[in-house]
Amino acid sequence: MKLLFVIITTTLLFLSTLHANSIQLPQSFWAHFTQIITNTKGKVIEYSGTMLFTDESHLKWSYVEPTKKEVCTDGVMLVVVDHDLEQISSYNINTGFNFTKIVKKATLHAQNIYVAKHENKTYTIQLNEDKLHSIAYYDDLENKVQIHFKEVQYGKDSLSEETMQCEAPKSYDMISG
């Protein structure tokens, strides 16, 4: 769960960083993603799915491989629906991230590559044709996390609140954190 929280908050951080560096971020976007996590012993876990973003703080990750899971946030609450475990977890997101401070720290490192340093971590963002292409960082467990985006589609309108909600069957167990 902590890893998912870090991924979501990191993505929010990056999206805010992109916007502050005069990179035009749309009102919404959709993309396929591959997330590769490599631990300190070299073990690799690869996830894939789709991601939706709207209104600067709403994210929805729909994992399809190797497990079916949805992770949704509005910037205040984080909801994780694990379809394999038939479990729904919800958490208040710690408001410790100061997006303004993070955005001010972000710098253009090289063509299409931005670097942000925040809370002793370095985040690298790569763009392709002015669109989000990848995010890389080390998480709190020293895992190397790489998220690659493809088929990125930018939109001018906000996505509906319904679209951004996780599908949570009533029969699933509910856990609040």
Kindly provide the b/e burial profile for residues 17-29, where b requires at least 16 CB atoms within 10 angstroms of the residue's own CB: bbebeebebeebb
Work out the mean pLDDT of the chain and round it to a whole number: 81
Between residues 134 and 3, the one the model is more confident about: 134
Chain segment 91-139, per-residue pLDDT in tens:
887 643 333 344 356 678 899 888 878 778 787 888 898 888 998 888 8
Write down all domains in the chain, each with its CATH number in brackets.
2-176 (2.50.20.10)
Beta strands in 83-139 (DSSP E): 87-92, 107-110, 113-118, 121-128, 131-138
Whole-structure pTM value? 0.78
163 sits in which H/E element: helix 161-164
Q: What pLDDT is recorded for position 3?
A: 57
Chain segment 24-65, per-residue pLDDT in tens:
567 788 999 999 999 999 999 999 999 998 877 788 999 999
Chain segment 55-82, per-residue pLDDT in tens:
777 889 999 999 999 999 887 888 999 9
- SS3 at position 169: coil
Q: What pLDDT is recorded for position 103?
A: 37
